Amino acid sequence: MLFDLQGKRRRVIQVTYLGLAVLMGGGLVLFGIGGDVQGGLFDAFSDRSDTGSNNPITERRLETAEKRLRTRPNDPAALAELTRARFQLAGDDVDPNTGVYLPEARPDLRAAAGAWDRYLATNPQPVDASLARVMIQVYAFGLNQPAKASQAAEIVAEADPSSPTFLSFAQYAALAGQKRKADLAGKRAVALAPPKQQKRVKQNVEALEAQVAAAKAGAAGGASGGGPPPGGLPAPGGGGG
């Protein structure tokens, strides 16, 4: 699998995610559609900028959720709270130079993913789209699981159909190798854009496809011991999570 990587190749993929986030976010703002591209790396960091592992509020929320789950293990509200708390605690362990999760963040990221799976298993109606946005960030930028990121992005797009949300869905579906979903999501992103912006959104979708193709080519080159970082992006200066 493309994202089952270690060391330098893994960092290349993480930089690719960052490049795609910049491409999508900057492109949508320039096209006049707005900058609210859910599931982006910068949203992930800004959402939790005031939290930390030493934050008593976050710790209390975590303890309260865990206490509720001891007596009601399938409580969707408690599982959602547990997911958010773990995500926020993982935000402590981000390399300030590269914006990449450090290895120390992985226990909290995995715990967030486990709580999310348990939450989905309760079959909530509807699924909390804001929680799905959190999980895009966990899977895309923390655990390098693009198929899971695509699943979360699809939930967001269905709950809040707009050009930015479907462009985000197209991004992660493409990274996961889900070509049909990526194509359909890209078409929806174009169709939902304001008429005067549809041409530019289409160009943004095409640029996204080219970036993903370059990422795959770069990963394949890394496997054989050669090839530049995907999309011409420089390798980060620090390690990944």
Domain positions in the chain are: 7-232
Instruction: Measure the N-to-C terminal CA separation of the chain; round to a whole number of Å.
Output: 18
145 SS3 class: coil
Q: Is the peptide bond prior to 126 cis by the omega test (within 30 degrees of 0)?
A: yes
Distance CA 150, CA 173 (A): 5
Give the phi and the psi of residue 152 in degrees, each rounded to 5: -65, -40
Do residues 190 and 201 lie in contact, with contact meaning Cβ atoms separated by under 8 Å?
A: yes
Structure confidence by residue, pLDDT tens digits, 138-191: 999 999 999 999 999 999 999 999 999 999 999 999 999 999 999 999 999 999
User: What mean pLDDT is reported for the chain?
Assistant: 77
pLDDT at res. 160 = 96
Distance CA 61, CA 46 (A): 19
102 SS3 class: coil
pLDDT at res. 211 = 81
Degrees (nearest 5) of the Cα angle 116, 109, 28?
80
Per CATH, the number for 7-232 is 1.25.40
Q: Report, as ranges of residue numbers, the positions in the chain whose pLDDT lies below 70.
A: 1-55, 220-241
